[in-house]
Amino acid sequence: MKKLSVFIYSMAGGGAERVVSNLLPELCKAYEVHLILMNDRIFYEIPNSVQVHFIEKSAPFENGLKKLIKLPFLGIKYKNLCKRLGIDIHFVWMNRPCYVAGFARIFGDKKPLIINECSTPSVLYKEPNFKSKISKFLLKRLYPKADFIYPNSLGNLCDLRDNFSINPAKMGVLYNALNLDEIAQKACEQIEQKKPFFLSVGRLDAGKNHELLIKAYSKLKNCDKDLLILGDGVLREHLQNLINELGLKNRVKLLGFDNNPYKYMSKCYAFVFVSLFEGFSNALIEALACGKLVISSDHQSGARELLGDDEWGVLVGVNDEEGTIKAMQKAIDEPEFVKIYEKKAKIRAAFFDKKKISKDLILKIEEIDKGYRGE
């Protein structure tokens, strides 16, 4: 059985980490899997057969210059670890590990290198600051070292092609993999909330745009539903102050992080997600898997790709408060409109079942490996 390195920064509670946790059990059926991390936070269950290794145990908010200087040294460390383990294929996730693996290739690692890109780099690095400039430089220099790149949406693929000159022949979309059985099971758990509610899930930071959502909610007419927001982050105090200022403290609730969002998704009236940008949002697919109407901003890059032209959910403009109000008001005023989307939500979610995604992924990894070896 060939040895596969799955290299990611950590297994903390993020979207990429959740996808990796869903893929690991399936990858273990085809490979001896070694999970290689740069940080010791592990929030997701890891199969017993997976061996876990650390090339460092870095702090999440480490100094940026220090992180940059360390990259080539970590590349050497990663290369040496994989050589000692006898790794046959690399499968690397998230920007920093991808840079480290790129340096490992420069320093002589000869095994097939497959990387995943789960963000839209031109949006992520749009600010004209030092961090963005360095990140774009590293991406342009190191991503082409990979044998294959897996963006998690067609929009992200086009971004890499058009803005970073990545050869499209070396790319293919790997959609986020969901554990639909687990979602269905966890969705049954009870919650304390009895009153009907809109739901949003995501970190409390500027990118998720919760401030707009709260303001839009405050302007709804004849609204008999609460607004619940799952997630934590740097803007929690700011958002709570806004809620208090608008007189909504009994109707808008910041519930913090919950490792089982599905118990809320399955019971909400509608799921509302007004992020400024995303790669390909797990939260949107998970809400569909729970059979719910999804109202989402038409952010780069995955929302329209997932929902179509309002086929599987309702799209509103990015940072469009009036559009958000209109969509939420329509959901309140027209319950039949909500039911139409509920009936077809799970049909769309089934496309992202981890068994289907994993099967296609393993076939592609084998194809890349054989091509690399000239077979």
pLDDT, tens only, 181-201: 999 999 999 999 999 999 999
Q: Environment class of residue 287 by beta-carbon count within 10 Å: exposed (0-12), middle (13-18) or buried (19+)?
A: buried
pLDDT at 178: 94
If pLDDT is split at 50, 70 and 90, which confidence band does 279 have?
Answer: confident
Tell me the one-letter amino acid at 138.
Answer: L
CA distance 196 to 194: 7
Q: What pLDDT, in 10s, does the model give residues 189-236?
A: 999 999 999 999 999 999 999 999 999 999 999 999 999 999 999 999
pLDDT at 372: 75
CA distance 324 to 251: 18
- 316, 324 Cβ separation under 8 angstroms: yes
Break the chain down into helix, strand, coil percent, rounded to 5. 45, 15, 35
DSSP class per residue in 222-275: S---EEEEEB--TTHHHHHHHHHHTT-TTTEEEEE--S-THHHHTT-SEEEE--
Q: Specify the 3-state DSSP secondary structure of 32.
A: strand
Token digits of residue 61: 């908010």
Structural domains of the chain in order of their starting residue, each with its CATH number: 3-177+353-372 (3.40.50.2000), 180-352 (3.40.50.2000)
Q: What pLDDT, in 10s, does the model give residues 292-326?
A: 999 999 998 889 999 999 999 999 999 999 999 99
Instruction: Extract the runs of DSSP E, i.e. beta strands, from 21-130.
Output: 32-37, 51-54, 89-93, 113-117
Q: What pLDDT, in 10s, does the model give residues 357-370?
A: 999 999 999 999 88
The predicted model scores a pTM of 0.86
Average pLDDT, the chain: 95
